[in-house]
């Protein structure tokens, strides 16, 4: 017996089908990400801990006094590292999402964009959990990790999450169609860490150089995230969340268009 709209009774809507696909892929990715490698959680936490330890050691060796105005160096560094890793992992894991799930494209319900969205969501959830661990651990160690403006911190964190999604959507298509693009992007991840003001303040750089570095949207999000932790923190000159969101929305729109344009070629890969 047919329903009012003429569809068979009990038939699922397109949204219900998509939601089921996302849920199945999320569970598959979550088990693979957290259970396949016994050291997965260790490296996820150890990487930022090691980076913080190295930077503290370098700062102690240099003994150059305060590097950051109106902010403690260790919490400032932790916030920057966690925000950067959120963007970087969204970009890098998006690149391998299509190739890693190519066998699932035999099902017509699964589209190449689905694994990219699912991986980005999973990575954001994991990074958010690790960030909370760092905040709790820092507070227990006596660090000033309690945010002065929690709403701004959450807004900046979600903004960086969306930037990682936009980069992941674009790079997933580009790296799948042209594998050399993926190798170049991986090579650029370390220089991007330096020029994004993650480990050293950009305010100390010459103004003419800072103008070019601030074309990178990541420092805008990181500085806003840090401002949420330290209300008197002096953000880098030229920080603008309007510019950040213009770039983020443009990347997300470009990524969606690329997935629509090359969907057949992506499935054939």
pLDDT band at residue 10 under the 50/70/90 scheme: low
**What was the pLDDT predicted at 65?**
45
Instruction: Supply 151's token pair.
Output: 């709403």
**Of residues 74, 15, 42, 80, the one with CA closest to residue 226:** 80
In this model, does residue 253 exceed pLDDT 70? yes
Instruction: Supply 250's token pair.
Output: 């443009």
**What was the pLDDT predicted at 160?**
96
pLDDT top residue among 242 and 10:
242
Backbone angles phi, psi at 86, to 5 degrees: -60, -45
Interacting residues of 56 by C-beta distance below 8 A, sequence separation 6+: 73, 74, 77
pLDDT band at residue 2 under the 50/70/90 scheme: very low
Interacting residues of 14 by C-beta distance below 8 A, sequence separation 6+: none
**What was the pLDDT predicted at 64?**
46
pLDDT band at residue 189 under the 50/70/90 scheme: confident
pLDDT band at residue 182 under the 50/70/90 scheme: confident
Instruction: Supply 96's token pair.
Output: 């391998």
Mean of the per-residue pLDDT values of the chain: 86
**What was the pLDDT predicted at 62?**
60
Q: pLDDT above 90 covers what percent of the chain?
A: 41
**What was the pLDDT predicted at 60?**
64
In the Cβ-directed half-sphere of 268, how many Cα atoms lie within 13 Å? 5
**What was the pLDDT predicted at 151?**
95
In this model, does residue 56 exceed pLDDT 80? no
pTM for the complete prediction?
A: 0.88
CB atoms within 10 A of CB 149: 14
In this model, does residue 3 exceed pLDDT 50? no
Interacting residues of 162 by C-beta distance below 8 A, sequence separation 6+: 248, 252
């Amino acid at each position: 017996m047919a329903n009012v709209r003429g569809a068979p009774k009990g038939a699922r809507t397109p949204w219900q089908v998509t939601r089921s696909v996302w849920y199945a892929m999320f569970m598959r990715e979550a088990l693979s990400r957290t259970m396949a490698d016994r050291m997965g959680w260790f490296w996820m936490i150890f990487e930022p801990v090691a980076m913080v330890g190295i930077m503290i050691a370098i700062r102690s060796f240099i003994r150059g006094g305060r590097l950051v105005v109106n902010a403690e160096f260790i919490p400032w560094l932790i916030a920057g590292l966690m925000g950067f890793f959120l963007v970087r992992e969204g970009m890098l894991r998006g690149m391998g999402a299509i190739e890693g799930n190519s066998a699932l494209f035999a099902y017509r319900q699964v589209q190449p964009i689905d694994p990219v969205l699912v991986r980005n969501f999973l990575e954001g959830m994991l990074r958010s959990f690790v960030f909370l661990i760092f905040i709790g651990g820092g507070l227990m160690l006596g660090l000033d990790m309690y945010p002065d403006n929690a709403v701004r911190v959450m807004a900046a964190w979600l903004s960086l999450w969306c930037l990682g999604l936009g980069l992941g959507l674009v790079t997933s298509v580009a790296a799948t169609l042209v594998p050399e693009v993926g190798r170049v992007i991986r090579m650029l991840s370390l220089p991007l860490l330096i020029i994004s003001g993650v480990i050293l303040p950009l305010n100390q750089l010459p103004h003419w150089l800072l103008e070019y570095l601030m074309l990178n949207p990541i420092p805008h999000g990181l500085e806003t995230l840090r401002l949420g932790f330290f209300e008197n923190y002096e953000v880098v000159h030229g920080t603008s969340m309007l510019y950040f969101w213009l770039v983020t929305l443009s990347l997300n729109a470009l990524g969606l268009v690329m997935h629509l344009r090359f969907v057949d070629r992506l499935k054939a890969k």
